[in-house]
């Protein structure tokens, strides 16, 4: 099973600040996904990165896939209280996994007004 290490686990910041969440592995992934989950709800897919070195932007969120496809990062510019939630990175679990995903431990982001 391929593991994903996510950091930091907890992030508490003020509105307007920037932040970066990291997702690292010793294994190569064919793709990585980022999800955001709000309390009491299911995760929502934000983005999938596929190509090494790829950068994708979603409004104030910037996602990057490492050149070697072993790591990814999520950068949020000028965070807002609405960005508060659990952020999860995930990638194919590998082997004959029937499409299973392996998830990072998650980053709980709290943005204070």
Partner 1 sequence: GAVVSQHPSRVICKSGTSVKIECRSLDFQATTMFWYRQFPKQSLMLMATSNEGSKATYEQGVEKDKFLINHASLTLSTLTVTSAHPEDSSFYICSARGRVGVFEQYFGPGTRLTVT
Min dist CB 101 to partner 1, Å, is 6
Task: State which residue, 25 or 78, has the beta carbon closest to partner 1.
Answer: 25
Sequence-distant (6+) residues with CB within 8 A of 97 are none
Q: Which residue's CB is nearer to partner 1, number 82 or number 99?
A: 99
* Count of CA atoms in the C-beta half-sphere (13 A) of 68: 7
Apex 10 CA angle, 39 and 15, nearest 5: 80
CB 30 within 8 A of CB 113: no
- Judged by CB under 8 A, does residue 58 bind partner 1? no
Q: Which of 79, 104, 109, 111 binds partner 1 (CB under 8 A)?
A: 104
Binding-site size, partner 1 (CB under 8 A): 25
**Cα–Cα distance, 66 to 61 (Å, whole number):** 16
**91 in contact with partner 1 (CB under 8 A):** yes
- Verify binding: residue 43, partner 1, rule CB under 8 A: yes
> Does 44 engage in binding with partner 1 (CB under 8 A)?
yes
């Amino acid at each position: 099973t391929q593991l994903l290490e996510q950091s930091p686990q907890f992030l508490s910041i003020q509105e307007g600040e920037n932040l970066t969440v990291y997702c690292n592995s010793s294994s190569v992934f064919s793709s990585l996904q980022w999800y955001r989950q709000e309390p009491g709800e299911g995760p929502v897919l934000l983005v999938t990165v596929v190509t090494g070195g790829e950068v994708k932007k979603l409004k104030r969120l910037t996602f990057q896939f490492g050149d070697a496809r072993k790591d990814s990062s999520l950068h949020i510019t000028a965070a807002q209280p609405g960005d508060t939630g659990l952020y999860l990175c995930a990638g194919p679990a590998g082997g004959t996994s029937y499409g299973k995903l392996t998830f990072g431990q998650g980053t709980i982001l709290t943005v204070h007004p």
